[in-house]
Amino acid sequence: MRHLVQGNEALFLGALKAGANFFAGYPISPSTNILVLAAEQAVKDTNFKFIQSEDELAAANAIIGASLAGAKSFTATAGPGFTLMQEAIGYAHEVEVPTVFLNIQRVGPATGMPTMPAQQDIVQTNYGSSGDYYPLAFYPNSVAECYRYAITAFNAAEESLSPVILLGDAFVGHLNEVVDLDDIELEVIPRTRPPLGTGKRFFTGLAHDEEGNPRTADAGVYREWLTKVKARHEKVASRYSDYEFSGNPASDTLLISYGIVSRVVAPLGSTFALFRPIRMFPMLGDELRNHAQGYEKIAVIEANDGQYACLVEHELKRDVIHVPLLGGRINLDLAKQGLKEKLEREVP
């Protein structure tokens, strides 16, 4: 049945579809209505557990504890809340805990512009916590995709045994579209690790061996562990190499965008070739390289000052033009104006 559904609501419904039964969070714009939906769900369904935490540190650690206890858990946050959650994200990677973080981005740094959309946590998503880790992250651009990738995020979390980050922004999160969510059918991957209370295991944020015993000064054990985890993440990522591409033989420029910006610049498909990553991390590699071939110029337009552009440049080993849309103002006229200045040509 077709309904008018909001992006944040679709994220929440997708989480439920994936079997989520635990939410902990701290209210923060523009993600707050996900927390409200979770609170209402806990009233409707006593098997769904909810904590309104005292802060984002507690929320992020609560979803880790809930996951170890056997629940499919998630939280929703934004900007400075996501920053507070970074320590727990690193911990979840070390302890190999499947869980999901929804980050509905707004303009920063700090409190910034709480209700204005941005894409300013791209680098933080990949590099925000200490140490080496390999997060999986997705960024939908429609209400239907919010639902689909919420399910995908939970599946990828189970497969990779890691915290998966689902990015949104204030526009996608508050976008209302008519969709039939029943049409979106995805397999749901069940929990495989037995819950707490069934073994004699030790889950630790210290470097550890296969048995979980701390090995805090053994480079060999550490390297072996990191190699194993990295390989697992790459394997899982390869199942979700999701992107959109529309070529344009008449154009010399490939325009890369994602999230809400990709919706805004969609009409420019007659002028440029368009590429939209959906799996943001690990970075799409061969997919980007293949589609960038044949285009003299690569431009990334995004609602930050070149965060993804830098990563694309690194990936392609080519110069990349970056077109920032800043301060929460994202529209086609500003996109055209930015492209015109950076490409030094008219953009019809």
Binding site for another protein (CB under 8 A): 22, 24, 49, 51, 53-55, 57-59, 61-66, 68-71, 73, 87-88, 91, 95, 195-206, 212-214
- Specify the residue, 203 or 245, whose C-beta has the smaller distance to another protein: 203
Whether the upstream peptide bond of residue 140 has omega within 30° of 0, thus cis, is no
Query: Cβ atoms within 10 A of the Cβ of 72, count?
Result: 24
- Least distance (Å) from another protein to the CB of residue 143? 30
Please report where in the chains the tokens 């989520």 appear, as a residue: 20
- Least distance (Å) from another protein to the CB of residue 57? 7
* Distance of alpha carbon 68 from alpha carbon 6, whole angstroms: 31
- Specify the residue, 51 or 303, whose C-beta has the smaller distance to another protein: 51
The first and second tokens of residue 166, run together, are: 């689902």
3-state secondary structure of 97: coil
The first and second tokens of residue 324, run together, are: 């920032």
The radius of gyration of the chain from alpha carbons, rounded to an integer in Å, stands at 20
Which 8-state DSSP code applies to residue 214?
A: B
Q: Would you say 140 and 278 are in contact if contact means Cβ atoms under 8 Å apart?
A: yes
- Specify the residue, 21 or 253, whose C-beta has the smaller distance to another protein: 21
The first and second tokens of residue 192, run together, are: 């495989």
- Least distance (Å) from another protein to the CB of residue 188? 19
- Least distance (Å) from another protein to the CB of residue 192? 16
- Specify the residue, 18 or 339, whose C-beta has the smaller distance to another protein: 18
- Specify the residue, 195 or 285, whose C-beta has the smaller distance to another protein: 195
* Distance of alpha carbon 228 from alpha carbon 238, whole angstroms: 16
- Least distance (Å) from another protein to the CB of residue 208? 9
